């Protein structure tokens, strides 16, 4: 099952990509969480980025 990316234009300037959370992403998040001892929300963010083919991941976490 592949990810579906929905793109929404905000004020005709910025775009945001919304990724549908699939069972494949959830499974990948569980594997990442177990392997790296991450919080579930962090593991979901990383799994989603990987499944969507992102080349970089930015966060505001301190």
Looking at residue 19, its pLDDT comes to 86
The span from the CA of 58 to the CA of 62, in Å, is: 12
Six token digits for residue 4 = 């579906």
pTM: 0.70
Q: Which residues pair with 19 in a beta bridge?
A: 5
Looking at residue 13, its pLDDT comes to 45
Looking at residue 2, its pLDDT comes to 52
Looking at residue 18, its pLDDT comes to 80
The span from the CA of 2 to the CA of 22, in Å, is: 8
| Dihedral sign, Cα of residue 21, residue 55, residue 39, residue 60 | negative
Length of the chain: 62
**Per-run averaged pLDDT (10 residues), the chain, 62 residues:** 51 65 96 96 94 85 65
User: Where do we find the tokens 């005709």?
Assistant: 12
């Amino acid at each position: 099952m592949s990810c579906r990316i929905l793109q929404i234009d905000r004020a005709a300037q910025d775009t945001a990509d919304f990724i549908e959370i699939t069972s494949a992403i959830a499974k990948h998040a569980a594997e990442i969480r177990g392997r790296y001892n991450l919080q579930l929300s962090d593991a979901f963010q990383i799994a989603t980025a990987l499944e969507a083919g992102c080349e970089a991941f930015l966060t505001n976490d301190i």
